[in-house]
Structure 1
Amino acid sequence: MGAIKVHEFTTVDGVVDAPMWTMEYGFPDDLAASIGTLTASSSGILLGRTTFEMFAPAWSTRTVEDDEGAPFFNDTRKYVVTSTLTDAESVWANSTVLGAYDADRIRTLKEETDGDLYVSGSATLVRALLADGLVDELHLYVYPLAVGTGIRLFADGAPQTPLSLLGAEGLSNGVAHLTYGPATG
């Protein structure tokens, strides 16, 4: 049984959607290594439909020469939580539709997976996973800017979500990598 490890790029004001604002900060080696640690322990990728539809065209044509992360994203089994897609495999190799969100189905997948499940983006899915206590590690890469508007991981009116700090590190591009787990005690 593996862990569910979520990776989110976020601003200091909590915006997580379409993080084009990350571009001006680059992708230095220490950031790549940090994310590489998450993907190295993962034998599956869990995505919501919107993120899957954004990632598929971006990653499916990349090679290791283009991006050293390409083999992980292309060769690893991807599980898509969606009630609207029926065929993910024809869109991106090694992809399976799980159907609509079902916490029990995700628990079973987690139990059956030899290795961790990596989640990137997928804010709607991550909110549900957090609410159902299925996230083992929440990795927030906090960029030093506020953008004012956009999709937030913790939306206005959402229930309180207590977490425990598991780690914090500053990266060379000014990004803070904060790791949280389920609240203890």
Structure 2
Amino acid sequence: MGVIRVHEFTTVDGVVDAPMWTMDYGFPDDLAAAIGALTAPAQGILLGRTTFEMFAPAWSTRTVEDDPGAPFFNDTTKYVVSSTLTDAESVWRNSTAVGGYDADRVRELKAQGDLYVSGSATLVRALLADGLVDELHLYVYPVAVGTGIRLFPDGAPRTPLSLLGAESLSNGVVHLTYGPAAA
């Protein structure tokens, strides 16, 4: 059985919306290494439609010379969870639309190997609710923005987690790793 590792850039007030605020903090080597450790074992990328549609134009034309992460994003199979997108391959190579969210379908994909998820807040909420997230990696930026999409919005169900690790990065970001709550 594979592992699902989720990566979210978030503010101290919990916003995970399009993270333009990350630009102020750069992308130092220790942040790149931390994210590289998440992507290295992944055999597939699982994305929601909105994140897929944001990533496709940003990553599909990048080369390793532009960004060392480009080969991972372009060459790895991407599974897009969407009830509306039917032809992901024409948008970004190595992409497959898997239909609307179905926990059993995600379990099938997970059985094939490790999966990496970035962004995709709606998808991540569903994965958490169904106990499918093995590692939730929150990169907490030292800024509050007040409004935006939150991973855990007001009214969301209680989601107990266990802290697996905490790391302070050189740009002031804290990398928190959570797993399912200990029984």
Work out whether the TM-score is over 0.5.
Answer: yes
The Cα of 1:112 is off from its aligned counterpart by 2.1
User: 1: CA distance between counterparts of 2:18 and 2:178?
Assistant: 22
| Structure 1 residue aligned with 2:123 | 125
User: 1: CA distance between counterparts of 2:89 and 2:50?
Assistant: 15
Which of 164, 167, 171 is residue 165 of structure 2 equivalent to?
Answer: 167
Q: What SS is found at the alignment partner of 2:31?
A: helix
One-letter amino acid matched to 1:106: V
User: 1: CA distance between counterparts of 2:140 and 2:109?
Assistant: 29
User: 2: CA distance between counterparts of 1:105 and 1:77?
Assistant: 15
Residues 109-141 of structure 1: CA deviation (Å, up to 9, x unaligned): 10122xx10000000000000000000000000
**TM-score, normalization: structure 1?**
0.98
One-letter amino acid matched to 2:144: A
User: 2: CA distance between counterparts of 1:73 and 1:94?
Assistant: 9
User: 1: CA distance between counterparts of 2:109 and 2:94?
Assistant: 16
| Structure 2 residue aligned with 1:7 | 7
1:6-155 equivalent positions in 2, closer than 5 A: 6-113=6-113, 116-155=114-153
Q: What SS is found at the alignment partner of 1:42?
A: coil
User: 1: CA distance between counterparts of 2:17 and 2:120?
Assistant: 9
The Cα of 1:26 is off from its aligned counterpart by 0.1
**TM-score, normalization: structure 2?**
0.99
Residues 130-153 of structure 1: CA deviation (Å, up to 9, x unaligned): 000000000000000100000000
Over the aligned positions, Cα root-mean-square deviation in angstroms equals: 0.5
User: 2: CA distance between counterparts of 1:109 and 1:155?
Assistant: 27
The Cα of 1:45 is off from its aligned counterpart by 0.2
One-letter amino acid matched to 2:129: A
Residues 49-70 of structure 1: CA deviation (Å, up to 9, x unaligned): 0000000000000000000000
- Identity fraction in percent: 85
User: 1: CA distance between counterparts of 2:109 and 2:35?
Assistant: 22
User: 1: CA distance between counterparts of 2:8 and 2:75?
Assistant: 21
Q: Which runs of 5+ in 1 are unaligned?
A: none
One-letter amino acid matched to 2:39: T
The Cα of 1:2 is off from its aligned counterpart by 1.1
The Cα of 1:108 is off from its aligned counterpart by 1.1
